[in-house]
Amino acid sequence: MHMLKGLWDWIFEDPRSGLIDTRQPQFQAEFAVDVPDKLALGKLYLVGESGHYWCAAMHCPCGCGEAIQLSLVKNDEPSWRFRLDRQKRPSLFPSVWRTVGCRSHFILRQGDIIWCNTHFQMPARSSRRT
């Protein structure tokens, strides 16, 4: 178990591993029936009713100011899952990789943002047909 913890620490703290742990302020989960018109910083909104959530919404943690909405519907493509710990700190699975705008790529684990050090850029979509 000790060796596994050491490996985990190396992956998420050593910049050579490709992941950078920034220890930004933690995100807290908040439940909502609809996506709020104004999203608060540091909140992951879980949108739905009666324990059935279909959307997660948050401000992009990079600071670009864009809102991110992620589908929690199991059969959607793509879709995400969430988990809350005892302190209501959310985790999202899989990672979030924005394909437009700032192109941020991050993991949300127990309320913390872990930046993924992406070594390549996704190709921009071309409007030309080939």
Q: Which two tokens stand for residue 33?
A: 């029936």
Within 10 Å of residue 122's Cβ, how many Cβ atoms? Answer: 12
Which pLDDT score is estimated for 25? 55
Domain ranges of the chain: 21-79+91-116
Q: What gap in Å lies between CA 10 and CA 42, rounded to an integer?
A: 26
| Secondary structure element (H or E) that encloses residue 69, with its range | strand 67-71
Which pLDDT score is estimated for 50? 86
The contacts of residue 91 (CB under 8 Å, 6+ apart) are: 82, 83, 84, 85, 108, 109, 110, 111
| pLDDT tens per residue across span 6-48 | 544 544 554 444 554 545 558 999 999 999 999 999 999 999 9
DSSP annotation of 13: H
Which pLDDT score is estimated for 88? 86
Q: What gap in Å lies between CA 58 and CA 26, rounded to an integer?
A: 13
Which pLDDT score is estimated for 118? 63
- How far, in whole angstroms, is CA 51 from its chain's centroid? 20
| Range 87-92 average pLDDT | 93
Q: What gap in Å lies between CA 56 and CA 96, rounded to an integer?
A: 12
